Amino acid sequence: MKEVTFTLAEYNLAACSNVDITTVRLTSKPVLLLLHGWQDNAATFASLWPLLTKDYDVIALDWPGHGKSDYKSADNYYHFVDYIDDLHQVITQLKCEKVHIVGHSLGAIVAGCYAAVFPEYVDKIILIEGLSPLTEPPQMAVERLRMGIVSRQRYRQQQLRLKQRSMATFAEALTLRVAVNRLPASLLEAVVTRATIERDGRWYWRHDPRLRCDSLYRMAQQHAQALLSSIQAPVLSIIGDHGYSSLHNSDGRGWDINDFTQVVVSGGHHCHLQSSKGVYRHIRTFIPTRFD
């Protein structure tokens, strides 16, 4: 996989790909667009790359403020719906007829919403440990808005300290991430490598601290229902047997998704890291190639 860059209207997005993105439309392989989760990066799919690239043209994005992508401007924050705009700018640059989208967590939620809004660009979607946008009852609107504004003010007061926060070694950064995700270091090393940068003998996180600011708004259940029920593309949901319990109780019927299949693999919320071969086999079955 090589480093590539997508130039969007407001900033650049970094990505990894096994194909020249300017000629991807000329190839005969299905195009897989891989979307990572919150505070992860494109390397969360690194263990899948050698498997997927045998059969597909693969592009793995870094969302803005993540990995090697640009931060948003100083007067902006990270709204969920803006990720859908980012994705649309990427897909329309590819100029291929349709893409298959594989998303994990936040990336899965974005994938589902995008497929609902722009069905003409999407063939199939695979949602790993993610499905519906986060929802709240309408009566939470006041408290949610207050929480979001307060979190921004807290960031403004702490931004200098957050930007200066560093670690003595890469191993320290890796240990911190292992403690958060409760996964072996071997599964997280690629993610942490892409998530850190070394300057003057110290290691710094690349991601924008503003990512941790609370949302100003969350959808009501009816809004999420309207989006998911509009998905026309076939959906494959892959969940870990020790992943988010709410996903075990969610199926296509509950959201009125027309073509929905769910499979379970070993692992937790990052089951694509823990069971990469199993996830690959499900992807390979769901998205055949012309050689099958």
Portion of the chain with pLDDT greater than 70, in percent: 96
pLDDT tens digits for 81-132?
A: 999 999 999 999 997 889 999 999 999 999 999 999 999 999 999 999 999 9
Same domain, 75 and 195: no
- The CA–CA distances, whole Å, from 127 to 12, 16, 279 equal 25, 20, 11
Strand partners, 198: 203
Does 155 reside within a domain? Answer: yes
Across residues 58-63, what is the average pLDDT?
A: 98
pLDDT value, residue 291 = 67
Does 256 reside within a domain? Answer: yes
Same domain, 14 and 91: yes
Same domain, 82 and 150: no
Strand partners, 238: 128, 263
Q: Which position has the higher pLDDT, 78 or 96? A: 78
Counted domains in the chain = 2
pLDDT value, residue 252 = 64
Same domain, 199 and 63: no
Same domain, 121 and 254: yes
Same domain, 24 and 117: yes
- Domain with 185 in it: 139-212
Alpha helix segments (H runs only) across 1-79: 49-52
Domain boundary (183, 212, 241) is at: 212
Does 291 reside within a domain? Answer: no
Residue 115: CB atoms within 10 Å: 26
For residue 68, give the nearest of 13, 6, 2, 106 by alpha carbon. 13
pLDDT band at 61, cuts 50/70/90?
A: very high
Domain boundary (212, 240, 267) is at: 212
Across residues 244-269, what is the average pLDDT?
A: 86
Domain boundary (160, 194, 212) is at: 212
pLDDT value, residue 251 = 66
> The domain spanning residue 260 has which CATH number?
3.40.50.1820
Same domain, 231 and 113: yes
Same domain, 195 and 249: no
Same domain, 208 and 226: no
